[in-house]
Amino acid sequence: MTADLLDMAFLARVAGRLPVEPVAPLREPDARPAAPEPVSPAHDPVVSRLLEAFPEAWARLADRVEAAFSSGSRVVCVAGRSRGEGRSTVVCGLAHVLRARGCFVACHEDMASGVAAADAGAVIVDAGIWFPHGPLHLGRLAHAALGCDAAVLVRRAASATCPGHATALEAVGVHVLGEVLTFADPPIPDGGSR
């Protein structure tokens, strides 16, 4: 059984060893296998349109994530408040931008298709809903964030900002890289239509 970066980050955090020791350099094209084949924006028209429409915003986000990887982070989670707010889209777009820069990064689509995270220098993952409606439970957040070194928060532009989310993440040892606003429509309950 082999451990991937998520497993090693989890085990290191549980053992209390912070920061996680780097497994491999983020960039070293001659010594590393080729980066996992990116999810082509052509396969996802939404990602493609967003990459074309907002190149500066993607570049700024990629700069922050790349700086986190360079400083020793290996697992960056994209977390949010509710379903359908665009976390997976952010993960795919960010992975595409970083790969275009020559970074060896894996994302959840790669792992679902059998590409091991260990083949990449770093991992970007859709971490799901860390901040559901209701009171914030620090213990639950710490459990959800195990193995994560840094996070990008996603929220719909129509939702109010909550500085407490970033404060809570910092309290459990997860560095917040920033917040992405999406204009995704909220999901329709029970399959209704708009």
The pLDDT tens digits of the residues spanning 115-159 come to 455 556 789 999 999 998 888 899 999 999 998 999 999 999 888
Instruction: Name the pairing type of β-strands 75-80 and 105-107.
Output: unpaired
Residue 86 domain-assigned (yes or no) = yes
Gyration radius from the chain CA atoms: 16
Residue 190 domain-assigned (yes or no) = no
Residue 34 domain-assigned (yes or no) = no
What is residue 193's three-state secondary structure?
coil
pTM reported for the whole predicted model: 0.72
Q: What CA–CA distance (Å, rounded) separates 28 from 84?
A: 36
Residue 164 domain-assigned (yes or no) = no
Residue with the bigger pLDDT between 16 and 85: it is 85
Residue 179 contacts residue 155 (beta carbons within 8 Å) = yes
Residue 176 domain-assigned (yes or no) = yes
Number of structural domains found in the chain: 1
Residue 95 contacts residue 38 (beta carbons within 8 Å) = yes
Domain that holds residue 69: 5-13+39-156+170-184
